[in-house]
Amino acid sequence: MRVIICDDNKEDLTKLEKLLIEYNTYCPGIPFETEKYSDASVLLDKIQNEEPADIYILDIVMSKITGIDLGAQIRKTNTKSIIIYVTTSDGFALDAYDIHAIRYLLKPIKKSSFFEAIDSALSYLNIKEESVYLVKTRDGLLSIPYSKIEYIENSSRKLDIHLVGGETITSIFIRKSFDEEIKDLIHNRNFIRVHKSFLVNLKYIKKLTRSDVTMDSGISIPVSRKSSLDVKKEYLLFVSEQYR
């Protein structure tokens, strides 16, 4: 997977590279071959003379050539590469739309937004590997595909992992906090914590109200007051993305 990052701010360039490296730790089965450019004119020459990358992460406001110009050059010969824009200004959104960029991220870049953008890029390229959740049980260490998890409950310092189809897998006693146990799942776009004791898979929500979510299995899970607005926002965003 060849990824090109271009930003004339070297600090931002380094940060973007570090975010990509961190993302790769969650998806080690998809090795990234990363190239960095702080000079857009150098990248422009490569775009015109070399094979395209799979993903381009481009700053928009640069001193010599804008990211919009780079995107336009990419699109002259290549409609398949993914373009993600990063910028300090929201004034180029329409230009980015014309280039068919899949994301437009405002600086400073949030890790969650960046990870979501890469998730989307890999989905468009149909390269996303199946992530798995590792859980220690009395029968040993089990590997559970994320797509099979409907929701997880923190119950008396044990994790009850409820799977699609009705099966429940219970962990051994956990020594870490619930936050620590589910941190990898939280980075996945499909999961959201709705309550201090519950993490749900957005894919399997059947109905959402202010106070609870009803899952496809029929189970009702409480939504805390503190989380209610964020849960609604994330769920609506998730649903809208399914129809893009």
**CATH numbers and ranges of domains, the chain:** 2-124 (3.40.50.2300), 132-242 (2.40.50.1020)
Assign residue 163 a region: left if phi > 0, alpha if psi is -120 to 50, beta otherwise?
A: beta
Residue 243 in this model has a pLDDT that exceeds 60: no
How many CB atoms are located within 10 Å of the residue 3 CB? 22
Residue 127 in this model has a pLDDT that exceeds 70: no
Note whether 191 and 151 are within 8 A (CB): no
d(CA 221, CA 18): 36
pTM score, whole prediction: 0.56
Note whether 71 and 98 are within 8 A (CB): no
Q: What is the pLDDT of residues 46-66, one digit of tens each?
A: 999 999 999 999 999 998 899
Residue 131 in this model has a pLDDT that exceeds 80: no
Average pLDDT over residues 216-236: 93
Q: What is the pLDDT of residues 82-126, one digit of tens each?
A: 999 999 998 999 999 999 999 999 999 999 889 889 988 988 887
Nearest to 159 by CA among 132, 179, 145, 188: 179
The sheet with strand 82-87 has its strands ordered as 33-37, 2-6, 55-59, 82-87, 103-106
Average pLDDT over residues 145-158: 93
Residue 244: what pLDDT?
Answer: 47
d(CA 239, CA 236): 5
The CB-based long-range contact list for 71-75 (8 Å cut-off, 24+ gap) reads: 71/96, 71/99, 71/101, 72/99, 73/44, 73/47, 73/48, 74/47, 74/99, 75/99, 75/100
Average pLDDT over residues 135-160: 92
